[in-house]
Amino acid sequence: MIMDIQSNQSDNGVATLMIEGEIDMNTCAQVQTHLMDLFNNNSKVIIVDLSKVSYIDSFGIATLVEGLQWSHNNNTKFRLTSLTPAVKDVFNIANLQTVFEIFDSPEDALKGL
């Protein structure tokens, strides 16, 4: 398994995307498709759980940046949670820590909504 994605959407408009594995040029299209579905379903909040992502490259980052841009256009909250050290390091190099709303856990990401 290179990557697995599970998404669920609750009645209150909160959708969670749980990604497991490696996000790279080979797998980023799957993430993009799932994100697009969640935006099309009019989710009010999209939480992307990265706790099981062992690797991300610039294609994965670009997909998340795209999600962020869609969220601005759709007035949706787009939040990332539980970044692994490997993912956090790539975010740091790209200087993106302050661009996204990043939380320690999905529970924290739901606070203050």
Partner 1 sequence: MTESVKLTIPSDPKYLSLARKIVYHLLINHDVSKEIIPRLVLCVDEACSNIIKYGYNGCRDQPIEMTFSLAEDFFEVKIRDYGKQCDSRDIKPRPIHEVKPGGLGTYFINEIMDEVNYCTNREKGTLLTMCKNLKGELASARREIG
Q: Which residues bind partner 1 (CB under 8 A)?
A: 2, 22, 24-26, 55, 57-59, 61-63, 65-66, 68-69, 86, 89-90, 93-96, 99
Q: Which is nearer to partner 1, 14 or 78 (CB)?
A: 78
Instruction: Provide the token pair at 98.
Output: 């302050």
Q: Which is nearer to partner 1, 41 or 58 (CB)?
A: 58
Cα–Cα distance measured from residue 81 to residue 77, given in angstroms and rounded to the nearest whole number: 13
Burial (Cβ within 10 Å: 0-12, 13-18, ≥19) of residue 35: buried
Which alpha helices (H) appear in the chain, and where do they start and end? 28-40, 58-74, 85-93, 106-110
CB of 23 to partner 1, least distance (A): 11
Q: Which is nearer to partner 1, 86 or 113 (CB)?
A: 86
β-pair type (45-56, 3-9): unpaired
CB of 40 to partner 1, least distance (A): 19
CB of 8 to partner 1, least distance (A): 26
